[in-house]
Structure 1
């Protein structure tokens, strides 16, 4: 089935969306959704990155709504695209387990459909920058390692490259989780998110003001199932063993983490989702040209932080991308 035409997106002009059919599974219709924002004629003619296409992939229990991020790339001349993966956000259908897959390799089909809709097939005429947040950063890291040379640059915003409890806990948990995933991949597990990350974003004022889509990004996050978590840990193991993304990579992280066990004001200026020091150590194993930037005062999504760390993160990204892609 062919992709549908571009239509207006819920974010308003200039954003448009396109549905990408992916077949069916036991829960019904599968689609991904591509959102785009194109630069104006002046940026297309004069800006430094006017031959670049950016593909953004969101994190767990999330969808694309970061209009400021799109504008930042459009200002550089780049065409900006964002992908709501299957069973997330615009792509979530009734009766589906939100965000569920049993292998991160499954997303190869979503990414291939997006690149085709962007006009970047097997022989692209434009350069590709991949930009992933959290789980999306893990997905794009592994995809890049399986497809070396397809991307000209990889930018990771607090990528989930290691389990929050560290490598030793991951190694101990993995055999048990694999067994559980084989027997009951969609079993219910206890809720562990107390909603503090969503509260921190609310206090900062960085949550989207969109009606009717609260279930796309619930305060306590999606339910976690053994089959999905097993897929995540398998991805972490591949990173721990070492991969090569085949292009320069920029990793943006908060300067520090705060465990989300109770509400404290530090949750509005630190990463309350990942252990950033463990992610920083894992980041050096994804390629030979990795730049690490620690952003003081940033939260888990550095581009949703307060004004000062957010501006710092944008400045780092612009300078790095301009220099890397113009060399």
Structure 2
């Protein structure tokens, strides 16, 4: 039986550790976080039941829209799960919400490990398989699965969903990293990455993160709903990028470029514009400063046969951490898409 313990996010959340064996750096684990559902409404009183009978109304309220749905969220690079607001969106609709801190990220990072390091994105199949088993032991096929990934997590889940046809019922991607920021230079860059990864896989690239993305998030944060993060798990500047890891990412990009075959409907949420973060300006608080979003939008069209792309004016790289107007727009678009999906699929 899975042992669930209180999570660092507080009483609404629990976590469980998923053992994944060992590698050259020692013990390897992933961590699954779950959001506890809101308290059920009080049953109708005797008087309310009587009135309902008189009016020909059902004695019980219908189940929530996403009853019977599980959501599995995967974070991006140099990141982990901390978005309480996102979890509440799903649980308020009746879904069960789970978030996976992949091996060597966040809650899963152990002393002596290289944060986020991996040499093949397929290795995460083990993390995802362990998460799905912990989410619904013995219930495979009885609940609908919605995958939700941000940035690198969006790349990981896109590749996984394509390799596991019919495993997911919907895929939702928040600014997925489907292509290099310098895509026109791909032909020149890839051979250098491959050579460096073969000769010195643990060599770190020069740090180019100036901390502007984190500064932009802080600038637009909701003062009434602040999200505190662990600086060890979500450092500023971001975690070092190693050659072996970057090769795994670019090989994933190449697979996406060749075209994926995700059978489930896909929703991709992106900022309307990108901005180059070479120096600080207010423009960085209303644009994606991590990805070239036009290229991502085009690449997303090759994920499967049913892809919806939502471009959100004023959104940051994580559209759900944007300024309130853009954030509200992102949630409204997500709810609209999910409502349509649920109606079309009989959820």
1:195 to 211, 228, 242: 211
Q: Partners of 1:41 and 1:127 in 2: how far apart?
A: 22
Secondary structure of the equivalent of 2:316? coil
- For 2:38, the equivalent position in structure 1 comes to 40
Q: Distance in 2 between matches of 1:169 and 1:114?
A: 37
Q: Does 1:90 align with 2:107?
A: yes
TM-score, reference length from structure 1: 0.95
TM superposition shift of 1:171: 2.6
Q: Which has the larger radius of gyration?
A: 2
TM-score with structure 2 setting the length: 0.90
Q: Deviations over 1:107-145 (max 9, x none)?
A: 000000000000166832100000000000000000000
CA RMSD after TM alignment: 1.6
1:319 aligns with 2:336: yes
Would the aligned equivalents of 1:187 and 1:226 in 2 still touch at CA under 8 Å? yes
Aligned residue in 2 for 1:182: 198
Shift of 1:323: 1.1
Question: Does residue 1:209 correspond to 2:228, yes or no?
Answer: yes
- Provide the C-alpha distance between the structure 1 equivalents of 2:285 and 2:270, rounded to a whole number of angstroms: 14
1:8 aligns with 2:6: yes
**Conserved 8 A contact 1:115-1:121:** no
Structure 1 contact 120–126 (Cα < 8 Å) conserved: no
Task: For 1:286-301, list aligned pairs within 5 A.
Answer: 286-301=303-318
Give distance in 1, aligned partners of 2:218 and 2:187.
35
CA distance in 2 between partners of 1:256 and 1:98 (Å): 30
Q: Distance in 2 between matches of 1:296 and 1:242?
A: 28
Structure 1 Cα separation of the partners of residues 334 and 243 of structure 2? 35
CA offset digits 1:66-121 (Å, max 9, x no partner) = 00000000011000000000000000011111000001101000000000000166
Question: Superposed, which structure 2 residues align to 1:1-327 within 5 Å?
Answer: 5-40=3-38, 42=40, 46-119=63-136, 123-166=140-183, 168-205=184-221, 208-210=227-229, 213-327=230-344
- Runs (5+) with no aligned partner, structure 1: none
Q: Deviations over 1:291-311 (max 9, x none)?
A: 000000100000000111101
Q: CA deviation at 1:33?
A: 0.3
Contact 2:14 2:36 in 1 (8 A): no
Work out whether residues 18 and 130 of structure 2, in 8 Å CA contact, stay in contact via their aligned partners in 1: yes
- Whether the aligned pair in 1 keeps the contact of 2:193 and 2:247 (CA below 8 Å) is yes
The separation in 2 between residues aligned to 1:273 and 1:189, in whole angstroms, is 16
> In the TM superposition, what whole-angstrom CA distance separates every residue of 1:247-282 from its partner, at most 9, and x where no partner exists?
000000000000011111011110000000000010
